[in-house]
Amino acid sequence: MNSSLIAKYNVAGPRYTSYPTVPYWDNNSFSLKRWKASLKKSFDETNSTNGVSLYIHLPFCESMCTFCGCHKRITKNHKVEIPYIESLIAEFKLYKDFLGETPNIKELHIGGGTPTFFKPENITVLLNAISRIGKFSNNCELSFEGHPNNTTKEHLKMFAGFKFTRVSYGVQDYNLKVQKAIHRIQPFENVKKVTEYSRAEGFTSIGHDIIFGLPYQTVEDVINTINKTITLMPERIAFYSYAHVPWIKGNGQRGYNEKDLPTATQKRLQYEKGKQMLLEAGYFEIGMDHFSLSKDSLYQAHKNKKLHRNFMGYTVTNTKVMIGLGASAISDSWYGFAQNEKGVESYKSLVHEGVIPVFRGHILNEEDLIIRKHILNLMCKFETSWNDATLCFNELPDVLIKLKELEKDGLIKIEAKSIYVTEKGKPFVRNVCLPFDRRLQRNKPETQVFSMTV
């Protein structure tokens, strides 16, 4: 990749799991009443047809991984499991009682934290309750995040019994020096073992998460990690850029100095080499940072232009309603976003007072909804258009002017009423989205808020 392009476009920018992005939510005008109204509107429109997605956040981890940007609680006290699960069940019941109809669950993902921190018998209690309060659709996609060091055969048997077919394992990198820096020691043998256990239990879509740009990481480390990974051929690979945001995540990302991180050019070399290896191994590039085998549903959704993106990342299930359960979980009604209390104690307290435990959010206006569609199109399809007059907005001419520079550099192609991201431009898709982000363009932050795009 041209190093001058890296220098030019390596700016701070969102990953666009939502629009507007969280720093630009209008929390002042947000209220629980407005959130519930937006949710009820969307639920009534789509529950009987598209159904809802459900995200469950299990925040506990036994140790701190210093690369992690998730909301978590570090503890070795497993007595926290049952009280937290009781709160999750109570929260979902609050939603059902408010909505007045049984949620038709089309997708369920359990994330963290470390979901496999929880004992299988306790997760069984949770899933049995979820299936009583809601209704799993016949083709429901069920998935969870597993830690290679503590996901047991018992965990996998339990999840398989509930018809889970997808699991993702955090690999990051196999170099011991890198693992020590990020406080995540897990040898290849552990990942190999748990991947084989998953297949034996009938999981048909196994994912490995790999990160480039980590402290002390080199191109050779990425080559080694991907060589080991393709011996196992997981159906999906998430190949992420490390997001170094210590000003947001506090001491968790202060375990090393900026000088220990690869430069932007080195990071991009890591990505380009890793991408080349994955493509040569038979994987297809899906959206941003994701690769899958052709037999996987993620590839099929990409091929049929039905890929969707929300706070759970890329998904094949395009629901308008996503209900997030648990401390810090984010919900999406399409017309609005709401985030739960981040503290476990404050979250549990509100739930047991009978209050849906959101503390901030955003209700989208008409322009937000239009921009959201364009950014989703770019992130999921690498293209967007305004042939439909409802997708036009007042500042579209200004956006096109800003995009001219990207076209000049061969990153996009602008046509009469559409734009397309080129192969050369795919690594810069976040930069292509930036001119559409009207809230950011009108009010650029004085200090860095987002990670770098390259």
Binding-site residues for [4Fe-4S] cluster sit at 61, 65, 68
Residues linked to residue 336 through DSSP beta bridges, in sequence order: 363
Burial classification of residue 182, based on how many CB atoms lie within 10 Å of its CB (0-12 exposed, 13-18 middle, 19 or more buried): buried
Residue 30: other Cβ atoms inside 10 A: 20
CB proximity list for 287: less than 8 A, separation 6 or greater? 302, 307, 309, 314, 379, 380, 382
Are 261 and 213 within 8 A, CB to CB? Answer: yes
Burial classification of residue 190, based on how many CB atoms lie within 10 Å of its CB (0-12 exposed, 13-18 middle, 19 or more buried): middle
Are 229 and 237 within 8 A, CB to CB? Answer: yes
As annotated, the binding site includes 55, 61, 65, 67-69, 112-114, 145, 172, 184, 209, 243, 330
d(CA 165, CA 107): 12
Burial classification of residue 157, based on how many CB atoms lie within 10 Å of its CB (0-12 exposed, 13-18 middle, 19 or more buried): middle
Secondary structure E strands in 187-256: 205-212, 236-241
Handedness of CA 174, 176, 179, 181 (dihedral sign): negative
DSSP annotation of 143: E
